[in-house]
Amino acid sequence: MSVSISGLLLVMADSVTALQLSPSFIRPSTFLQLLAFAILLGGIYGLVALGLTMIFGVMDVINFAHGALMVVGMYIVWWLSTAVGLNPFLTIPIAVVALFVLGIAIHRLTIAPIMDAPQENQLIVTFGVLLIIVSAIEITFSADPQSRVLNLGAVGIGGVALPGGQLIALLIAILAVVLVWAFLQRTQLGRAIRGTADDREAAQYVGINVPRIDYLTFGLGAALAGLAGAVIPFIQQIDPHLGDTYLINAFVIVVLGGLGSFPGALVGGMIIGFVHVFGQFFLPGSGNQIAIFLIFILVLLLKPEGLFGGGS
């Protein structure tokens, strides 16, 4: 994108004006409220990044369709809740299972045939999958925003409001990290996945069925995307393009936390959540997004393996 000098000057002038309106201090109650929002948002970001980091960590596939898979999860929950009339909370596991199956199907049809091809091929294929999924949802449900499935209100603690949807998302994120971590650490299959992530070739030599692990990994990654998507209709209106919003920051979180690191995804999500919320409060316009990418650059310069990279 080309930005003219006059355009830049206008943006700078705009920023100065907005900064003049920004608070010079922060009240304790406001700080606590922002802190709560940062933790809640960080949980959602961490959840979104989990599946992405898993697929890349094991398969070296950059899954651009991750946001679209989230959107599928959103629409499953929304449709089953509003059109079919199921309890919204019961639709969450349905979405997770459906996405697991969909992930395996996508892998079978698109990724598996080109696993040994250059990485660019897989990138382009997942981008194509993204376009197909989003277009299909748009054709089926229209591009119009759809309502939240449930108004959960907010819980007030000491003057701090905790929106119900975000709170549930945070709890689900923590639970997901614990369960996935336990699965990877405590089960034979989990060890096989970690072994494949370490060295695909060596894994084959020790008898691990690597193609099968790929299927499982992509399915799990998609299921995690579905889980992340499934909580969104409890928080905000949804539309077919909402996945893009979360995907960009999820990429940053994956690098920040360390490629393939689950704790890194959660901690990275929290950091980005903090930068997003406090950046929003103190910086004009979309300055918080600029701050997020500046942090990303700093991480690459100072600790390119990420916060939790390099360890198991």
Partner 1 sequence: MGTNSKRSERRSFIKYLGAAGAIGLAGCIGDDPDADDDNGNGNGNGNGNGNGNGNGNGNGADPDVDEVVIGSNHPLSGGLGGTGTRMDNAVKLAAMIKNENGGIESLGGAELEVISGDNQGEQELGGEVTDELIDEGAQILTGCFSSPVTSTATRAAERAGIPFVVSVSVDDAILQETELDYIYRPQPPANQMALNHAEMVTQVIRDAGHSVETAGIYYIDIDFGQSVRDHLREQLPANDVEIIQEVGINFGETADTQVTQLVDADPDVVIAISYEAETVELVRAMDDQNYSPPFLAGCANEALNDRAALQEMGETAEGAFATNFALNPVDDRAAEVRQRFEDEFDQSFDANVAMTYAAAEVIIAGIEAAGSNDPDDINDALTDITVEDHIAAMPPITFGPDGENENALAPLFQVQDLEDRVIFPEEFAESEVQL
Site for partner 1 in 63-102 (CB under 8 A): none
Structure tokens at 243: 């996945």
Phi and psi torsions of 283, nearest 5°: -105, 150
Site for partner 1 in 121-150 (CB under 8 A): 123, 135, 138, 142-145, 147-148
DSSP state of 163: E
C-alpha–C-alpha distance, residues 291 and 293, integer Å: 5
Site for partner 1 in 32-51 (CB under 8 A): 33-34, 37, 40-41
Pairing of strands 160-163, 154-157: antiparallel
Single out the residue of 78, 100, 234, 296 in contact with partner 1 (rule: CB under 8 A).
296
Cβ closer to partner 1: 163 or 226? 163
Determine if 203 is a binding residue for partner 1 (CB under 8 A). no
Least distance between partner 1 and beta carbon 8 (Å): 9
Determine if 310 is a binding residue for partner 1 (CB under 8 A). yes
Using alpha carbons, list the distances in angstroms from residue 169 to 198, 227, 238: 31, 9, 15
Single out the residue of 30, 87, 140, 187 in contact with partner 1 (rule: CB under 8 A).
30
E strands along 135-256, which residues?
154-157, 160-163
How many CB atoms neighbour CB 124 within 10 A?
A: 12
User: In 3-state terms, what secondary structure has residue 286?
Assistant: coil
Closest CA to 194 of 139, 284, 186, 28: 186
Determine if 178 is a binding residue for partner 1 (CB under 8 A). no
Single out the residue of 16, 90, 248, 298 in contact with partner 1 (rule: CB under 8 A).
248
Determine if 304 is a binding residue for partner 1 (CB under 8 A). yes
- Binding span for partner 1 by CB under 8 A among 102-110, 208-216, 219-227, 254-262: 254-262
Question: By rule CB under 8 A, what string of x and - marks binding of each residue 150-169 to partner 1?
Answer: -x-xx-x----x-x--x---
Q: Are 253 and 45 in contact (CB under 8 A)?
A: yes
Cβ closer to partner 1: 105 or 181? 181
Least distance between partner 1 and beta carbon 309 (Å): 8
Determine if 221 is a binding residue for partner 1 (CB under 8 A). no
Compute the C-alpha angle 86/134/193, nearest 5°.
80
